[in-house]
């Protein structure tokens, strides 16, 4: 049994004026299944509108239900999370699942010092005394390598740089020692030198604590640097699932193949980039058949008519493409 | 003499400088922009932000100069000065014989035609209340002497065709009916409308999805081949800059710390900051990632209000000495220039 298991997850939002599930509803996540083991890093790779963030939010239990409608199953150590009462669910957040978001300024409370925010969490959830909570807050700020932690806990979020704020968010996320950290684009707003520091910090915490990481990102470079396994999402579905080495050595879905080819490289200069034609589809108006067929160089009549299921391939990988077998042979 | 004639004369005066490939189109000389900061108390001064603090470079016809740097390094302020949206505190931008910020009236209007800008956010840089037809006709309304009124709509159709949009479908739509990539194409068409010699691209693909970025990068490259326009391509993404640039300049806290031809700068960076910046970029290749050497800089760039003495990078540099704290290293070298007391040997 994996630590975190997501099975056939479905999330829909009501369309304009309608209810979720009715006509015009947006099916943001459409049957996503994932498994994450202790100490491992699983990256969900996707572009805007792919459903990657909604998947993360459904697992974290922070979607407003209603209006959103969530179906399927999310299990942590075998325990179903989707049927918990809000109160039970609150205990899971932080204790078992920690969360880090892209925009730390919007996540931290601007009118409390970071020390107060950390200490409050520890007092409410761990029952620590004021002084013990304060000591632990300083340890946590020190743990995320913020210099002069003892003084910095008295500062407000706006007094920190973007990278430092992201470290504080990580401190909050790991304060209750969760088994799983879900990080939604944790470094997207950061400069590249600061991004490297933050990713290194997360990796270090992971090495020390054996925490599993579910990383939501659009950045192929970040995936290649930190992930063990990858799930590529497109139009609300997983289109490819494999180990990170498998994906980069030879993608088994034309979308992944296109993403890799369209990315300029820092280590060499290519003559011309491959460009995937068109734009990611609007989740409210998906094309027939395979949602990628309008942009796919391999699309044929079968692709236009029939939605391909995520089917297993050798070596534990899977692809949702009618041409998956030939793709694998080409890339070998 | 009609207004049209004198407009033509100014155009001719400037036109002398739109000559052969390899010619200089833009000369940027010791450009400085300081912004005053309010102090903590009313009526006090909090000093100045030295956003751009002495930047010089040349741009030749038909080439792409990439400018990279992290947030706050002054690259967007530089972009705004190049197109005349921001007035420099000191220094000048020359287009041919004309100084961009000294120009007035007709000369200034003519200059503006020659230097255009493409902005980062295709969602806020197009007027939401105007159709694409209106947005693309506007440059000709501002510069009526460029093209006869009757020929303008044909030109707009050509422009849409040039950037890969279908005039018969798209002309009367509003910006919100387009995807991010399509909006950026419209922004590029607008920049091209008056046939400029220079387009300053300020983070033109950073707001776009990965799969759409390549389309816009390829479009910019094709337009350069076809039209011979020169780009100043400003971005924080070093991979995109490597791909599109002939030469690259690296900015840190308002100054250029290194510049040179694309392959040299990327394969053998001479400034420690350039090397750290390059090594921080994630490589899309998982094989061998554990062995990859990465220079992790500590902390964030210092505040441009109070930059460090001497070399501005010394507070984050692993080889800084007392010399670095006391003396500012000048940017020396010609085709390949570096501002460091201890430039790195090729790795």
* pLDDT tens readout for residues A291-322: 999 999 999 999 999 999 999 988 889 999 99
- CA dist., res. A307 & res. A303, Å (int): 7
Residue B101 to chain A, least CA–CA distance (Å): 32
Mean pLDDT of A9-18: 80
The whole-number pLDDT of residue A180 equals 95
- CA dist., res. B270 & res. B296, Å (int): 17
The whole-number pLDDT of residue A172 equals 92
Beta carbons of B339 and B331 less than 8 angstroms apart: yes
Residue B322 to chain A, least CA–CA distance (Å): 23
Mean pLDDT of A240-268: 90
Interchain pair B214, A197: CB under 8 A: no
**Residue A188 CB-density burial (10 A; 0-12 exposed, 13-18 middle, 19+ buried):** middle
What are the Cα distances from residue B230, in Å, to B55, B187, B240? 19, 17, 17
Tell me if chain A has a CB within 8 Å of the CB of B280. yes
Nearest to B300 among A163, A248, A280 (CB): A163
The whole-number pLDDT of residue A59 equals 92
pLDDT at A82 exceeding the cut of 60: yes
Q: Most B CBs within 10 Å: which of A226, A258, A279, A281, as the mutation test of the B interface?
A: A279
From the CB of residue B234, how many other CB atoms can be counted at a distance below 10 Å? 25
Interchain pair B242, A273: CB under 8 A: no
The whole-number pLDDT of residue B273 equals 94
Sort out which chain B residues have CB atoms less than 8 A from A195's CB and list them: 280, 282
pLDDT at A225 exceeding the cut of 50: yes
- CA dist., res. A59 & res. A37, Å (int): 15
Q: Which residue has the tokens 């992930």?
A: A227
pLDDT at B74 exceeding the cut of 50: yes
Sort out which chain B residues have CB atoms less than 8 A from A219's CB and list them: 210, 282
The whole-number pLDDT of residue B347 equals 52
Interchain pair B286, A248: CB under 8 A: yes
Mean pLDDT of A44-52: 90
Percent of residues, chain A, with pLDDT higher than 70: 96
| Burial call A227-238: b when 16+ CB within 10 Å, e when fewer | bbbbbbbbbbbb
- CA dist., res. B122 & res. B184, Å (int): 5
- CA dist., res. B27 & res. B94, Å (int): 5
- CA dist., res. B243 & res. B263, Å (int): 10
Interchain pair A248, B215: CB under 8 A: no
Shortest CA distance to A157 belongs to which of A213, A104, A199?
Answer: A104
pLDDT band for position A22 (cuts 50, 70, 90): low
On the CB side of A255, CA atoms within 13 Å amount to 29
pLDDT band for position B4 (cuts 50, 70, 90): very low
User: Which of A158-167, A194-203, B33-42 shows the lowest per-residue confidence on average (mean pLDDT)?
Assistant: B33-42
Sort out which chain A residues have CB atoms less than 8 A from B250's CB and list them: none
- CA dist., res. B299 & res. A303, Å (int): 50
Percent of residues, chain B, with pLDDT higher than 90: 51
A–B: how many Cβ contacts below 8 A? 136
- The distance of Cα B34 from the centroid of its chain, to the nearest Å, equals 19
**Residue A298 CB-density burial (10 A; 0-12 exposed, 13-18 middle, 19+ buried):** middle
Residue A45 to chain B, least CA–CA distance (Å): 11
Token readout for A141 is 């700020």
pLDDT band for position A93 (cuts 50, 70, 90): confident
Sort out which chain A residues have CB atoms less than 8 A from B313's CB and list them: none
pLDDT band for position A103 (cuts 50, 70, 90): confident
The mean of the pLDDT values for chain B is 87
Nearest to A194 among B266, B284, B300 (CB): B300
Mean pLDDT of A275-280: 86
Q: What is the pLDDT of residues B228-241, one digit of tens each?
A: 999 999 998 899 99
The whole-number pLDDT of residue A58 equals 92
- CA dist., res. A200 & res. A190, Å (int): 14
Residue A227 to chain B, least CA–CA distance (Å): 9
Q: What are phi and psi of B18, to 5 degrees?
A: -95, 80
Beta carbons of A12 and A68 less than 8 angstroms apart: yes
pLDDT band for position B17 (cuts 50, 70, 90): very low
Q: Most A CBs within 10 Å: which of B73, B203, B210, B246, as the mutation test of the A interface?
A: B210
Q: What is the pLDDT of residues A185-213, one digit of tens each?
A: 988 888 888 888 889 899 999 999 999 99
What is chain A's alpha carbon radius of gyration, rounded to the nearest angstrom?
21
CA nearest B177 in A: which residue?
A: A282
What are the Cα distances from residue A278, in Å, to A293, A312, B281, B292? 11, 28, 27, 35
Interchain pair A272, B297: CB under 8 A: no
User: Which of A60-69, B18-27, B139-148, B304-313 shows the lowest per-residue confidence on average (mean pLDDT)?
Assistant: B18-27
pLDDT at A91 exceeding the cut of 90: no
Q: Most B CBs within 10 Å: which of A147, A269, A281, A296, as the mutation test of the B interface?
A: A269
pLDDT band for position B289 (cuts 50, 70, 90): confident
Mean pLDDT of A159-177: 90
Shortest CA distance to B77 belongs to which of B251, B247, B239, B230?
Answer: B251
Q: Most B CBs within 10 Å: which of A220, A275, A284, as the mutation test of the B interface?
A: A275
Sort out which chain A residues have CB atoms less than 8 A from B283's CB and list them: 221, 224-225, 265-267
Q: In sequence order, what DSSP letters do the residues of B217-264 get, joined into one string? A: HHHHHHHHHHH--EEEEEES-HHHHHHH-SEEEEEETTEEEEEEEHHH
Mean pLDDT of B289-307: 82
pLDDT band for position B167 (cuts 50, 70, 90): confident
Sort out which chain A residues have CB atoms less than 8 A from B240's CB and list them: 264
The whole-number pLDDT of residue A19 equals 52
- Taken in order of first residue, the domains within chain B and their CATH numbers are 3-39+46-245 (3.40.50.300), 270-347 (no CATH)
Tell me if chain A has a CB within 8 Å of the CB of B262. yes
What are the Cα distances from residue B81, in Å, to B61, B75, B112? 19, 10, 12
């Amino acid at each position: 049994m994996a630590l975190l298991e997501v099975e056939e997850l479905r999330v829909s939002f009501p369309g304009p004026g309608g209810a979720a599930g009715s006509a015009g509803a947006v099916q943001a996540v459409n049957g996503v299944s994932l498994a994450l083991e202790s100490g491992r890093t699983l990256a969900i790779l996707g572009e805007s509108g792919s459903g990657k963030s909604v998947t993360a939010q459904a697992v974290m239990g922070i979607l407003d239900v209603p209006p959103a409608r969530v179906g399927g199953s999310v299990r942590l150590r075998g325990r179903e999370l989707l049927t918990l009462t809000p109160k039970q669910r609150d205990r899971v957040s932080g204790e078992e699942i920690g969360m880090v978001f892209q925009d730390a300024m919007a996540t931290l409370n601007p009118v409390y010092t970071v020390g107060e925010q950390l200490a409050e969490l520890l007092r409410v959830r761990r029952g620590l005394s004021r002084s013990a909570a304060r000591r632990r807050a300083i340890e946590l700020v020190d743990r995320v390598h913020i210099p002069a932690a003892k003084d910095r806990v008295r500062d407000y979020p706006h007094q920190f740089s973007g990278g430092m704020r992201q470290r504080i968010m990580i401190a909050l996320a790991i304060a209750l020692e969760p088994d799983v950290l879900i990080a939604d684009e944790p470094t997207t707003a950061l400069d590249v030198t600061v991004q490297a520091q933050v990713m290194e910090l997360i990796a270090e915490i992971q090495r020390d604590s054996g925490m599993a990481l579910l990383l939501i990102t659009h950045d192929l470079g970040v995936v290649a640097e930190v992930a063990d396994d990858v799930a590529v999402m497109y139009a609300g579905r997983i289109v490819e699932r494999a180990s990170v080495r498998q994906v980069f050595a030879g993608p088994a879905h034309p979308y992944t193949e296109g993403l890799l080819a369209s990315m300029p490289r820092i280590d060499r200069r290519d003559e011309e980039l491959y460009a995937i034609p068109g734009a990611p589809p609007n989740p409210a108006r998906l094309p027939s058949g395979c949602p990628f067929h309008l942009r796919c160089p391999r699309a044929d009549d079968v692709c236009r008519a029939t939605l391909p299921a995520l089917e297993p391939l050798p070596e534990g990988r899977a692809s949702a493409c009618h041409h998956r077998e030939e793709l694998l042979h080409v890339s070998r | 003499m009609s207004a049209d004639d004198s407009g033509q004369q100014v155009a001719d005066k400037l036109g002398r400088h739109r000559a052969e490939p390899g010619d200089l189109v833009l000369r940027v000389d010791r450009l400085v922009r300081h912004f005053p900061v309010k102090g903590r108390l009313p009526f006090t001064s909090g000093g100045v932000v030295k956003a751009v603090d002495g930047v010089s470079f040349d741009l030749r016809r038909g080439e792409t100069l990439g400018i990279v740097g992290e947030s706050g390094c002054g690259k967007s302020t530089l972009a705004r000065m190049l197109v005349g949206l921001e007035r420099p505190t000191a220094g000048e931008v020359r287009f041919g014989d004309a100084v961009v910020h000294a120009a007035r009236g007709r000369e200034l209007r003519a200059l503006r035609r020659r230097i255009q800008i493409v902005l980062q956010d295709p969602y806020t840089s197009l007027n939401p209340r105007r159709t694409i037809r209106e947005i693309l006709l506007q440059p000709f309304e501002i510069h009526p002497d460029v093209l006869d009124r009757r020929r303008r709509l044909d030109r707009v159709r050509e422009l849409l065709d040039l950037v890969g949009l279908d005039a018969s479908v798209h002309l009367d739509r509003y910006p919100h009916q387009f995807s991010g990539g399509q909006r950026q194409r419209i922004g590029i068409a607008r920049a091209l409308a008056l046939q400029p010699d220079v387009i300053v691209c300020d983070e033109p693909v950073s707001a776009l999805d990965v799969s759409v970025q390549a389309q816009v990068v390829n479009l910019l490259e094709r337009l350069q081949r076809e039209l011979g326009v020169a780009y100043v391509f400003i971005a924080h993404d070093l991979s995109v800059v490597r791909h599109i640039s002939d030469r690259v300049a690296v900015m840190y806290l308002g100054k250029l710390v290194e510049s040179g031809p694309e392959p040299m700068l990327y394969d053998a960076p001479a400034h420690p900051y350039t090397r750290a910046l390059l090594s921080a970029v994630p490589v899309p290749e998982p094989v061998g990632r554990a062995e990859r050497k990465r220079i992790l800089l500590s902390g964030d760039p210092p505040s441009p209000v109070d930059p460090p003495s001497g070399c501005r990078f010394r507070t984050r540099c692993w080889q800084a000495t007392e010399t670095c704290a006391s003396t500012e290293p000048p940017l020396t070298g010609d085709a390949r220039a570096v501002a460091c007391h201890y430039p790195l040997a090729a790795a």
